[in-house]
């Protein structure tokens, strides 16, 4: 079993929204690693992060990512999942789409969301910029395809990803012939 596509990107890039719509378009389900963590601890993912601290949370997140990548359909990973070398290795065998978003748009989309403790700080823009600076290269190296989601209708983003998936699957069929 393997997902059709894995979505990565920073907080507010649209992974949940796009993942849900993409799963609907592909007539499959979506598995979100943050949801797996929330279910395991029976509390919101952000609360788990606050309770465990970032280091222990990342260890737990690795387990959730491994579980998510063992499913079919669409997988959406938490924004920091790419920080793990184990996750980086696991992503090499999958079709990975990086949902890119500008700092300004990411901050706008996450503003006032208390479920994101890493961004619930006095200067969320500076923190978001730092997160992107730390993670952008990891997102880029893990991705097979990149979509900038700023100012785009979610359905347009989904359509772009569907075209990419079709191309990848067509190439695989040709190789198998």
pLDDT in tens, 3-62: 999 999 998 899 999 999 999 999 999 999 999 999 999 999 888 988 999 899 999 999
Q: Is residue 151 annotated as involved in ligand binding? A: no
Q: Is residue 135 annotated as involved in ligand binding? A: yes
Tokens of 156: 């347009």
Specify the long-range contacts of residues 108-111, CB closer than 8 Å, at least 24 apart: 108/12, 109/11, 109/12, 109/14, 110/11, 110/12
Residue 115's pLDDT is 63
Structural domain range at position 150: 5-176
Angle of helix 15-25 relative to helix 154-176, nearest 10 degrees, comes to 60
Cα gap 47→72, rounded to integer Å: 28
pLDDT in tens, 140-170: 999 999 999 888 899 999 999 999 999 888 8
Start-to-end CA distance of the chain, whole Å, equals 21
Q: Is residue 127 annotated as involved in ligand binding? A: no
Q: Is residue 73 annotated as involved in ligand binding? A: no
Specify the 3-state DSSP secondary structure of 34. helix
Tokens of 9: 């990107």
CATH code at 90? 3.40.50.300
Cα gap 111→61, rounded to integer Å: 24
How many structural domains is the chain composed of?
1
Tokens of 35: 């949801």
Cα dihedral 8, 10, 12, 16 in deg (nearest 10):
20
Q: Is residue 156 annotated as involved in ligand binding? A: no
Cα gap 104→98, rounded to integer Å: 18
Q: Is residue 16 annotated as involved in ligand binding? A: yes
Q: Is residue 152 annotated as involved in ligand binding? A: no
Q: Is residue 108 annotated as involved in ligand binding? A: no
pLDDT in tens, 83-129: 999 999 999 989 999 999 999 998 888 876 666 666 666 788 898 89
pLDDT > 90? residue 135: yes
Q: Is residue 9 annotated as involved in ligand binding? A: no
Q: Is residue 14 annotated as involved in ligand binding? A: yes
Q: Is residue 13 annotated as involved in ligand binding? A: yes
Residues contacting 148, CB < 8 A, separation 6+: 100, 101
């Amino acid at each position: 079993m393997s997902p059709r596509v894995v979505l990565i990107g920073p907080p507010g890039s649209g992974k949940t929204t796009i993942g849900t719509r993409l799963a609907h378009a592909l007539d499959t389900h979506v598995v979100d690693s943050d949801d797996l963590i929330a279910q395991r601890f029976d509390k919101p993912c952000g609360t788990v992060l606050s309770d465990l601290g970032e280091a222990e949370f990342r260890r737990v997140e690795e387990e959730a990512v491994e579980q998510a990548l063992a499913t079919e359909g669409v997988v959406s990973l938490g924004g920091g999942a790419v920080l793990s070398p184990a996750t980086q290795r696991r992503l090499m065998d999958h079709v990975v789409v990086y949902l890119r978003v500008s700092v300004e748009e990411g901050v706008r989309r996450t503003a006032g969301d208390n479920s994101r403790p890493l961004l619930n700080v006095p200067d969320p823009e500076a923190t978001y910029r730092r997160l992107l600076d730390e993670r952008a290269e990891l997102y880029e190296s893990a991705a097979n395809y990149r979509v900038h989601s700023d100012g785009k209708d979610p359905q347009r983003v989904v359509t772009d990803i569907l075209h990419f998936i079709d191309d990848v699957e067509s190439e695989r069929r040709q190789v198998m012939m």
